[in-house]
Chains A and B, each alone.
Chain A
Amino acid sequence: MPLNDDTIFEIAHHYRFQWEPAQQMHVLLYPEGMIQLPGSSGEILKRVNGSARVGEIVADLERAFPGCDLRGDVLEFLEHAHGKGWIRTKEG
C-alpha cells in the first residue's frame, strides 16, 4: 500500500508503546519481546495514535525540531515500521 500524507496509522494490535524511564527511551512491547526506539524513532511513533495523518505527523515533528527537513526520514521509518508489523493503517 502506498503511503501518502493522508494515511493514518495506529500501533498494531497486541503491541504496546510506552516510555521507559529506566532506559530513557520509548519502547514497543509485544509477546516476550521489546523493540527499543531511541531518539527520533520514538518521537515518530509517539505521534502514531490512530487519528493523526502522516502529513500532520511530519508537520508536528518539524515544529518540534525546527530547522530540519524530516519528511524523508519520517516516511522511511513509517514504511519500515509498517513492514515490520509494528503499526497498521487505519480505515477511513
Chain B
Amino acid sequence: MEKVGFEQKKVSLPLWLLAEVSYKCPLHCVYCYNPVDYATYGNELATEDWLRVLRQARELGATQLGFSGGEPLMRADLEVLVAEARRLGYYSNLITSGVGLDERRIAAFKEGGLDHIQISFQDSTREMNDFLSSTRTFDLKQKVARLVKRYDYPMVLNVVLHRLNIDHVQQILEMADQLEAEYVELANTQYYGWAYLNRDKLLPSREQLQRAEEITNNFRRRVEKRMKIYFVVPDYYEARPKPCMSGWGSVFLCVTADGLALPCHSARMLPGLTFPSVRDHDLRWIWNDSPAFDAYRGDAWMKEPCRSCPEKVKDYGGCRCQAYLMTGDATNADPVCDKSPLHGLVTDAIERARKLGARSTREAQARAERQPDRAQPEGMRAASRDALYFRDDANSLSLADGKKQSFF
C-alpha cells in the first residue's frame, strides 16, 4: 500500500488575480456562478481601491489578471484599470459578454494595453442565445466579435454548455470558425450560484455529453491548425473531483465587486469563514496570514476518505464549495469522488436531472421558438420549482429575502 504523508502548509504565489469589478450585468444567464444574493452586495470598490489591489497583487507575484464580473464593462473606469494593469506588467484578460463593447472603448483598451478579450456566447442560434441570457444580444455579439478581430485581439469564444444547448455543439463550433476564433472554450456548466439553483434543468445527460465530446473531437481534427478547442467536462460525470483552484489559497485570488478577497469564485457563501475585505487589509496579509485563506491549505483539515487517500496530493479533496453545497460540510470530500460515502448525492442529481430535464428541454426549446424576440415574461420568472431562475436583481432580492434556502 502507498504510504500517505502529511503535506506541510506552504504559501505559494497568487499568480492569478480575478477582479470581479461589478456584479451588475446586462445579461441574466441561468447558469451564472455569481452568488444568488449578489443584488444585496452594493457598495462597489472605488477606482483607487482597484488601483491599490492591482498594485498589491502584482507585488505578490500575480501575472495573469482577469477583469470579470458580472459584466466588467459596467465599470466606466475600466480603461483606467486596464492601463494601470499594463503599466504594472500584468497580462490582462477582459472576460465579457460583449454587451457595451463599442469601438470607442475597444480602441481605448488597445491603447491602454489590454492583452486579450474573451467573449461569451450562450448558443449558436439567436433564439437560444437570447432565451438563455434573457436578452436580445445575439447580433450584437456577432458585431463585437468582428470588432475584436479588427483590433487585432486573439479571438477567444466561450460558450457555457448545459442540457439546453449542448446538442448544438456542431453549430456552435461552426459559428466560432466562421468568426475566425483562435480559441474556443466549451465549458460545461459548473454548478454554483444560479447554476446550482437551476441544476436539475441544466445538467446534461451522459448520452448528450458523449455525443458533444465526439463532435468536438472530430471538429478539432478538422481545424487543428487554426483553432484550439478546449472542452471542459462537467465534473458530475467524473469519478474523481477536479483539483479545484489547484488547491485553496494556492495560485488563485479573487476580489469581488464589493471588495472581499476570496480563494475561489464562489467561496463567499461558505459558513464559518470571515473573508477579509481589501478595504481593511492589504493583500499581503490577506494572502499570507488571514485565517480564511489558510483554512483549507495543506491537508490537516481533511476528513476521511481524503485524509488517507494517496490521490489527495492531486485533487486536494476537490472543491470545498461543492462539498458544502451538496453535503452541508465544506470539510467533506467533494461528493463527485466515488470514494465519498455521499457520492449518491451526485448520482441522484444526475438521475433527477435526467427525468426533469427531458421535459424542461422540450419546454424551453418550445418557448424559445415561440418567442424569438422576447425574453421570458417577468411574471413567469421563478414562478415555480419548475421554472428556470434567471439571474436578475428581482430574483436575487427575493431569493436573498427567503434565506431559508440551503444554497447560501
Q: Assess whether B197 is interfacial by the CB under 8 Å rule.
A: no
Query: Which residues of chain A have C-beta atoms less than 8 A from B15's C-beta?
Result: 34
Question: Which B residues from 39 to 78 make CB contacts under 8 A with A?
Answer: 59-61, 63-64, 66
Expressed in whole angstroms, the Cα–Cα distance for A58 and B118 within the complex equals 38
Assembled-state Cα–Cα distance A34/B64 (Å): 8
Contact residue among A14, A18, A22, A33 (Cβ-Cβ distance under 8 Å from B64)? A33
Q: Which residues of B contact A18 (CB under 8 A)?
A: 89
B199 beta carbon closer than 8 Å to chain A: no
Q: How many residues of A contact B (CB 8 A)?
A: 13
Give the distance in Å from the alpha carbon of A33 to the alpha carbon of B230 in the complex: 13
Q: Which residues of A contact B156 (CB under 8 A)?
A: 31-32
State the interface size on chain B (CB cutoff 8 A). Answer: 17
Roughly how many angstroms separate A50 CA and B211 CA in the complex, as a whole number? 45
Expressed in whole angstroms, the minimum distance between the Cβ of A13 and any Cβ of chain B is 8
Contacts of B63 in A (CB 8 A): 20, 27, 29, 34
Is residue A23 contacting chain B, with contact meaning CB distance below 8 A?
yes
Known: A16-B91, A22-B13, A23-B13. A31 touches B61 (CB 8 A): no
Q: Is B183 at the interface (CB under 8 A from chain A)?
A: yes
What is the distance, in angstroms, from B98's C-beta to the closest C-beta of chain A? 16
Q: Which single residue of chain B is at the shortest CB-CB distance from A30?
A: B91
* A14 lies within 8 A of B116 (CB): yes
Interface class of chain A by DSSP:
strand
B143-170 interface code vs A (CB 8 A; 1 in, 0 out): 0000000000010100000000000000
A5 and B66 CA atoms in complex are apart in Å by 40
Residues of B close to A16: CB separation below 8 A: 91, 115
Q: How far is the CA of A68 from the CA of B183 in the complex (A)?
A: 40
Looking at the assembled complex, report how far the CB atom of A83 sits from the nearest CB atom of chain B, in whole angstroms.
13
What are 9 A-B pairs at a CB distance below 8 A? A14-B115, A14-B116, A14-B154, A16-B115, A20-B63, A31-B118, A31-B156, A32-B64, A32-B116
